[in-house]
Amino acid sequence: MDDIVKAALAKWPKVPACYGWLGLDARGQWFMRDDRTQAAGPFAGSGSTATSKGSHLKHEKLIDFIARNYEADEAGCWFFQNGPQRVYVELEATPLIWRVHNDFSVLAHTGLSASVQSCWLDELGRLYLQTELGFGLVHTQDMVLAADAVEQGLWVPGEMKVSDLPQQFAYVRSPALHCKQMR
C-alpha cells in the first residue's frame, strides 16, 4: 500500500466505503461505473449488459495506483484503498487475472509475479490458478501457453464448477450485493 494512502487512513479512519463504482473484467481491465451505469444493471452475471459495465479506465498512472492498493478484506471482498476510502470492486470473474509467460511464470493484472500452487479447470474450459497472492483466471490470450504447461505436466488441473469457485477460494464477486445481503 502506498505511504500516502496509509497517511490518509490514519488522518481519516472512518470514511464510508464505496460500492459498485469500480469493476474488474475477465481480461484484467478496470471499469469506472457511475450512477447511470449501476442503474443499467450488475457489472457481471445475470442481468449484466454492455451498458452496465461502465467506462474502461485507460490512464496508466491511475491503473498503477489501483494495482498497488488492491487487496481483500476478511470477508473475501476485494477493494482498492483510495486514500481513506475503500472502493469495493465488482468482479466479472475472479479477483486476479493471470498472464502466462513463455517460461510459464505468471504475472497478475496488478503487475505482481507469483508461483502457481494449484490449477483448476471449470465446465466451460476456463483455467484458473491459485498462488500465494490469491486465486485468478488465466487471461484468454494466454491459454495456448497455459495448455502447454498442462501438457508438459507442470500444472495438473483439478475440475470444479464455476459456481463453486468463490466459496472454495474465499472471494466475493459482488461486494455490493454481499453488503446488501448482510444488512
∠ CA(30), CA(35), CA(41), 5° rounding? 75
Same domain, 89 and 17: yes
Same domain, 24 and 85: yes
Digit-coded pLDDT (tens) for 163-176: 999 999 999 999 98
∠ CA(21), CA(73), CA(68), 5° rounding? 65
Same domain, 34 and 110: no
pLDDT bin (cut points 50, 70, 90) of residue 182 is: low
What value does the mean pLDDT take over residues 72-81? 96
What value does the mean pLDDT take over residues 33-39? 93
The residue segments making up the domain with residue 175 are 3-93+171-182
Name the residue type at position 73.
D
Same domain, 89 and 8: yes
Domain total of the chain:
2
pLDDT, residue 108, reads 98
| Helices and strands: H and E segment counts in the chain | 6, 13
Name the residue type at position 129.
L
